Amino acid sequence: MIDYIVLIPTHNRPEKLSSLIDVLLPELQTRRMLLCILNSGRVDTVDKILLKLNNRNIIHLKLPDNYYWSMAISVGMKYVERYDYKFQLWINDDVKLNNRSFAIIENDLNSIDNSIYVGAFQDKNNYVSYGLRDSEKLLTPNGRLLKGSLMNGNLVVIPKELVNDIGQMPTWLRHSIGDNLYGKKAKSLGYDLLLSTEYIGYCERHDLPEPWQNNKKPKLVRFKNIFEAKGLDYFRYARYLFLYDSKNIIQRLLSPFFRILFR
C-alpha cells in the first residue's frame, strides 16, 4: 500500500521541477510515496533530473505537448487508478515547499475526514498567494482548518475514497479551471474543501495580465489568446460556466471581447 501518490504536472520548466524534487527527495526516503511526473513539455532534461532519485519510486509519463495542467492531471489520475494508495497529492512544479510541509500536511490530515485538503502558499511579501477562496476572497491560514468554496491546485490532497466518488478530472479541459471545477464537484457532493493550518511553501502570484487582458499587446494577438489553451480557452471556459458557475454568465462570456475592443 502506498501512502501518497504524488502527481506533478510539468511543462518545459526543468529547473523548477528540479528544485521541487530536491525537497521531495528526503520525503521519498522516509515515506511510502510514488511520484508521477506528468510531462507535457518537450525538454529532454527531465530524465536526467529524475536520475537524482536513483530512478526509484518515480514514474515519468510523457504526454502530448498540448495537454498542459488539467489534461495532465486527468491522465495522471487515470494512470494511478491501478495502484492501492491512501492519498492522491497534486503538486505544481513551480511551488517551493518548505522543510516542514509534509509534517504540517500529515498533522492536518489526522484531524480531517471526507474532505479535500488544500495547501496555502505565501509570496515573497508573506501574503497568501494561492490556496482556497471563499466569497472570492483568498483565505489566510490561521492555525485552524478553514473551509472554502473555490480551490487552487498548487497543492491538493485527496483521499482515495473521495477520488472514487468524485471521479476523474474531466478530459475536456486543457489548462486552467480544472482545479476549480474539481473542487466544485466535490462541494456539490457534500465534501468540504479545507485550507492547511499553516503555509506549506512559497509560490509567487501570477498577477501579470494574461495576454488577452494586456492592453499593450496588439488587439489581434489578444483576440487569438482568448481561444488558446494557455489563454482563456474560451469554449471550455464557457462550458465550465454553463455547468458549474452560471451566475452572470452572459456578462462574463461577453466581457473579454468588450475588454479587447475598449481597453
Take residue 69 and report the three cell numbers written for it: 495542467
259 contributes a contact to other proteins by CB under 8 A: no
Which of 15, 29, 52, 56 is in the footprint of other proteins by CB under 8 A? 56
Per-residue binder mask for other proteins (CB under 8 A), 23-52, x = binder? -----------x-------x-x--x---x-
Q: Which residue has the cell 502570484?
A: 205
Q: Where are the alpha helices (DSSP H) in 121-197?
A: 160-166, 178-188
Take residue 33 and report the three cell numbers written for it: 510515496
2 contributes a contact to other proteins by CB under 8 A: no
105 contributes a contact to other proteins by CB under 8 A: no
Tell the smallest beta-carbon distance from residue 63 to other proteins (Å). Answer: 6
Residue 59 vs 253, nearer CB to other proteins: 59
118 contributes a contact to other proteins by CB under 8 A: no
Q: Which residue has the cell 494574461?
A: 210
* Residues 6 or more apart whose Cβ sits within 8 Å of residue 172: 236, 239
The answer to whether 95 touches 22, Cβ cutoff 8 Å, is: no
Phi-psi region of 162 (alpha: psi -120 to 50; beta: other; left: phi over 0): alpha
Q: Where are the alpha helices (DSSP H) in 13-60?
A: 14-30, 46-51
58 contributes a contact to other proteins by CB under 8 A: yes
Which of 52, 78, 100, 206 is in the footprint of other proteins by CB under 8 A? 78
59 contributes a contact to other proteins by CB under 8 A: yes
Residues that bind other proteins (CB under 8 A): 34, 42, 44, 47, 51, 55-67, 75, 78-79, 81-83
